Amino acid sequence: MKIAVLSRNPNLYSTRRLVEAGRERGHEVRVIDTLRAYMNIASHKPSIHYKGEVLEGFDAIIPRIGASITFYGAAVLRQFEMMGVFPLNESVAITRSRDKLRSLQLLARKGVGLPVTGFAHSPDDIPDLINMVGGAPLVIKLLEGTQGIGVVMCETSQAAESVLEAFMGLKANIMVQEYIKEAGGADIRCLVVGDKVIAAMKRQAKPGEFRSNLHRGGSASLIKITPEERMTAVRAARVMGLNVAGVDILRSNHGPVVMEVNSSPGLEGIESTTGKNVAGLIIEYIEKNARPNQTRTKGKG
């Protein structure tokens, strides 16, 4: 098969591993810099150009689109979909998962466990918003934040009001979530491929920190997840429409709750913690499922 990896940097661990795994299994794999691909949006023959050449003949595409270039990356991916190339994750599903609020609303509609979450626009509604999520301590998140950036924990209602007023004054979109104290600064990253959790690790925040992201000095360890956690992760990925997803779960007193569904999960932490060949399993999934013109949404919004 001829596989494209849509990535800004061929030297990133995840990109490199996907290329290695694809070539090990006998495929032709090529990394395409997302921002250097440009499109000819013609009615009968949509095409993608790259550094002066026309890209064609690809059977599948693996999108590794960074959060900061979601809009352009999704447009490039949509163009590949219109050309009949099989996407590992569809453009619609990626856009859906990148919108934190929309993704939580979709998960809530399908009954997936979530932390109590509030969203408001007017500073006048701040006191009620804080009460809605059970009062302080609580967590405030910027909707555009990634890797733990733009996430603030407020110990008191007074601190929460000040932070919310500051963010609203900057016209930032924010949501407020209950703080799951019993999780003890740990979350579980489940890596879903197809309808299976193929690997899971526990991420523990460093002392004095509540964000467990590995980028922020968190540590990772092996964990055995419960059938309920497994089912929650698979359902969350399915609701988003993602074939491959990193689903972040917290253990709460009322069962597993989903924090986030990531459409381009990093492979380094999970591969080194679990010892599993995650990149190889992703390529295997493509081999079994890639067919031309298979996009469920056919390039629609």
Annotated binding residues for ATP: 141, 178-179, 187, 211-213
What does the longest C-alpha to C-alpha distance in the chain come to?
Answer: 60
- Provide the annotated binding site for Mn(2+): 248, 260, 262
What is residue 170's three-state secondary structure? coil
Q: Contact 127/136 with Cβ under 8 angstroms?
A: no
Q: Contact 261/95 with Cβ under 8 angstroms?
A: no
- Provide the annotated binding site for Mg(2+): 248, 260, 262
Instruction: Tell me the residue type at 94.
Output: I
Q: What is the DSSP letter of 86?
A: E
Q: Assign residue 199 a region: left if phi > 0, alpha if psi is -120 to 50, beta otherwise?
A: beta
Q: Contact 62/94 with Cβ under 8 angstroms?
A: no
Instruction: Tell me the residue type at 75.
Output: A
- Provide the annotated binding site: 141, 178-179, 187, 211-213, 248, 260, 262
CA 172 to chain centre: 21
